[in-house]
Structure 1
């Protein structure tokens, strides 16, 4: 009579190299923390300024765009608080661009580690989010100081508590929306980049036009007034556009009295999250379908 006993639930065999996707990433937060530290250490290795580049690069970008669009093309002449409007949109674009660009390349960058051991491969795109958040904070700090300075100089009305709470909520929702969308797209393009290195060049091309495809340099009302209705409807389906408007609501609107197309912002926010979650689900499906071949292709 055999003495073997059935395997208990915890001892059941699992398919090697297969996990539970993003769930495993959050279960192994300590490993994620180590990868984030490694990414930051590698990025600033041998750098004199180090984290100061988080201030220098967006500040330089802001000055260039402000001079070109706000001064030379005079968009800021009839747009109160244009500097705050511009920079609040650029913060969103910079955050989105950094996550998507790094998430697309991170699997290739970490090829030696992926080929040696098994760990949730989603760990690397998710680490790109945390690295981008480290760089997001200085930009938000500079933007907040600029917003308060503008309101003080031009004696804009101080928002009440409810307006302040709504502003903080809008900024949080905008950040969360961009995070979900960029992670979903990062999983998709990161998978493609393992097999086709042209994917990272395609992402660079998309990010090159991203600043023009959202109301960063120009007000949203210009699109509503000059584009056909169906073009405008497609335009506001872009979650980055909605996130930019949420940042405008959080930083720009409290210090201005200018009318803006924000009456439908709540509905737009719900739609933006729906689109973002769809991309996240697609990204996770594509990633898990092909991750078994990553080590071989890398």
Structure 2
């Protein structure tokens, strides 16, 4: 009886796996195609088309302003409240759209996932880029409104706004990878994500001032509140767009720089965990879909 032959498998890789996000850079042309397809088909067949990118956040802002600003009186308690409100709304909208779409990205592209191999991270990352493209019209509206009321920011404040966008994109990508992978097998994940998106608007100082939280909660709970990366991102946008339009006597969070560094660290860890879970589960995607 002959001895079993040995075969060198070192030059081969397990089918359906890759190097994770690193492979996305090697497939840049596919990423561009996915982003282009997503942006072009977003409002396909719609009468207003891309105008919805202005109408929807405008309607959202109007509802919040009437309820919180007029009915609850924050219009008088917070100087330049419309700018304060909208500069927070656009940040949360970016997070909610990027996170929500990335969670459903694998399921929505199941036809491609089941037929061919390509880095599956392409799908959630493409949806995050698409959300960023749809965020730009809202940013244009914010720029225009700030200029009308005499907005003169510093370079440091504008740099803070860029950091805020990076925090939101990094965090939503990490969460999108995490929940997008879990959502393939457990569709309840989408419902959990919807709850997180609802809470995102109310657990960050978008509709109200951070001072209301500071004055109502114990110190450790306030620190926990400020440790939320989305809170840091919103406050960075407030510093960049709202604060320069005020008399600059309005109170701003202490140690915002420290909380910004903490936000970057938390989102980096979220990205790492999301990638690890995604790679752990991606071998089952075709089977579970």
One of 191, 208, 220 as aligned partner of 2:181 = 191
Superposed, 1:115-194 pairs within 5 Å as: 115-151=114-150, 159=152, 163-194=153-184
- Determine if contact 2:167/2:233 at 8 Å carries over to the other structure: yes
The separation in 1 between residues aligned to 2:121 and 2:184, in whole angstroms, is: 13
Q: Which residue of 1 aligns with 2:4?
A: none
Q: Which residue of 2 aligns with 1:13?
A: 12
Q: Which residue of 2 aligns with 1:205?
A: 195
Q: Which residue of 2 aligns with 1:282?
A: 273
- Determine if contact 1:81/1:150 at 8 Å carries over to the other structure: no
The separation in 2 between residues aligned to 1:38 and 1:114, in whole angstroms, is: 17
The separation in 1 between residues aligned to 2:11 and 2:239, in whole angstroms, is: 52
Task: Give 5+ residue unaligned stretches, structure 2.
Answer: 1-7
Q: Which residue of 1 aligns with 2:5?
A: none
TM-score after normalising by structure 2: 0.94
Task: Give 5+ residue unaligned stretches, structure 1.
Answer: 1-6, 152-157
Residues 238-294 of structure 1 show CA distances to partners (whole Å, capped at 9, x for unaligned) of: 100000000001101111113323331111110000010111000000000000000
Q: Which residue of 2 aligns with 1:106?
A: 105
The separation in 1 between residues aligned to 2:92 and 2:22, in whole angstroms, is: 27
Moved more, 225-234 or 278-287: 225-234
Aligned: 1:267 with 2:271: no
Superposed, 1:32-51 pairs within 5 Å as: 32-51=31-50
- Determine if contact 1:96/1:179 at 8 Å carries over to the other structure: yes
Q: Which residue of 2 aligns with 1:255?
A: 245
The separation in 2 between residues aligned to 1:59 and 1:259, in whole angstroms, is: 25
The separation in 2 between residues aligned to 1:187 and 1:273, in whole angstroms, is: 17
Deviation of the 1:106 alpha carbon: 0.8
- Determine if contact 1:80/1:258 at 8 Å carries over to the other structure: no
- Determine if contact 1:185/1:283 at 8 Å carries over to the other structure: yes
- Determine if contact 2:160/2:236 at 8 Å carries over to the other structure: yes
- Determine if contact 2:39/2:133 at 8 Å carries over to the other structure: no
Residues 6-56 of structure 1 show CA distances to partners (whole Å, capped at 9, x for unaligned) of: x9xxx9322221111111112211110111122223322211111111101
Q: Which residue of 2 aligns with 1:154?
A: none
Deviation of the 1:124 alpha carbon: 0.4
Deviation of the 1:191 alpha carbon: 1.0
Q: Which residue of 2 aligns with 1:295?
A: 286
